[in-house]
Structure 1
Amino acid sequence: MNGQVLVVDAEPGIARPIDRPVVDVAVGVLIAPDGRFLLTSRPVGKVYAGYWEFPGGKLEARESVEQALRRELQEEIGVTIGAAHAWRDSLVDYPHALVRLHFCKVYDWTGELQMREGQQFSWEGVPVRCKPILPGTVPVLEWLVQERGSASS
């Protein structure tokens, strides 16, 4: 796992309180055998509704990133994951929250995709077809491009 934490200002120029608590979020980058990855839309009623992101959710008290990811992916999209490979972290400064995203790659899961919160899903490659992309998701797409570029060199 990369030891550096990327800091993303989701909406530059918008004033925010300095002393906000950090919300930890487990995020699954589900990668299919053909290399495509799963993106889901944010449901109606949530901040940034309609924006596309990698699925996941907030860590609960005393929950590890992997435990949270397992729970969230079961609750949100109906799949049970195999190993979650810790990959990278980023800190995203959204106007509504300061969010630490813990990205995990997932290559194995069971169950049929069920969008239990009314969201949509799409299996994507880079460049992605679905828009708009959540600001915290943009760096992940760049990381995937970098990895593919270094794998072919």
Structure 2
Amino acid sequence: MENRIVVGGALIHQGRVLAARRSAPPEVAGRWEFPGGKAEPGESQQEALERELLEELGVRARAVRRLAGEWPVRAGLVLRIWTAELLDGEPRPLEDHSELRWLGPDELSAVDWLEHDRAVLPQVAALLGAPDAL
């Protein structure tokens, strides 16, 4: 069986990236991640990320490019992280999150990231240091 894709969005705006604190499920509540969710059948990864950011945060965003790597979340699910550009709206924790924070390149270690999200932090830090590299 093919793995289902979970997309995470490194939403970058004005030199900072958005981190979201999970409120559920209990085993990850209180930890931080790049928001996103599962791609639906027939949906591209970009479409899935843009839909998930609208549902979870209430913002319109554009998926820009996939970061290197992928990480197993659990059996049958694999995470891929994309950079995303904020187009419209102010992010709010509407679903699955209790708090949001914009982090600059020197603040990325200030929150307790989930392991697979932590794995892309060096790539995200490099992008924040060169904003036109989105």
The TM-score, its normalising length taken from structure 2, stands at 0.80
CA RMSD of aligned residues (A): 2.4
Q: How does 1:119-134 map to 2 (within 5 A)?
A: 119-125=98-104, 126-128=106-108, 130-134=110-114
| 1:108 correspondence with 2:89 | no
Runs of 4+ aligned residues of structure 1 deviating over 4 Å after TM superposition are: none
Match of 1:136 among 116, 121, 131: 116
Alignment of 1:66-105 (within 5 A): 66-81=46-61, 83-94=62-73, 96-97=74-75, 99-105=77-83
1:65 has 2:45 as partner: yes
5 Å matches for 1:3-14? none
| More strand as a share of residues | 2
Q: 1:50 to 1:23 in 2, by over 3 A?
A: farther
Shifted more, 100-109 versus 113-122: the winner is: 100-109
2:3 maps to what in 1?
22
Aligned length: 128
Does residue 25 of structure 2 align to residue 45 of structure 1? yes
Distance in 2, Cα, partners of 1:89 & 1:68:
18
2:36–2:53 Cα contact (<8 Å) kept? yes
Structure with greater proportional helix content: 2
Judged with a 3 Å threshold, the aligned counterparts in structure 2 of structure 1 residues 89 and 59 are, in CA distance, closer, same or farther, namely farther
In the aligned structure 2, how far is the partner of 1:49 from the partner of 1:21? 28
Amino acid at match of 2:100: F
Q: Which amino acid aligns with 2:9?
A: G
Task: Report the alpha carbon displacement of residue 134 of structure 1 after superposing the two structures with TM.
Answer: 0.5
**Equivalents in 2 of 1:71, 1:121: separation in Å?**
18
Aligned-pair identity in percent equals 31
Structure 2 unpaired stretches of 5+: none
Compare 20-29 and 119-128 and name the one that shifted more: 20-29
Aligned residue identity for 1:85: V
Give the Å deviation of 1:131: 2.9
Q: Once the 2 structures are TM-superposed, how far is the Cα of residue 59 of structure 1 from its aligned partner?
A: 0.4
Can you give the 5+ residue segments of structure 1 that lack an aligned partner in the other structure?
A: 1-19
How many Å apart are 1:47 and its aligned residue?
A: 4.1
Letter in 2 for 1:43: S
Q: 1:115: Cα distance to partner?
A: 0.9
Alpha carbons of structure 1 residues 134 and 22: separation in structure 2 relative to 1, 3 Å: same
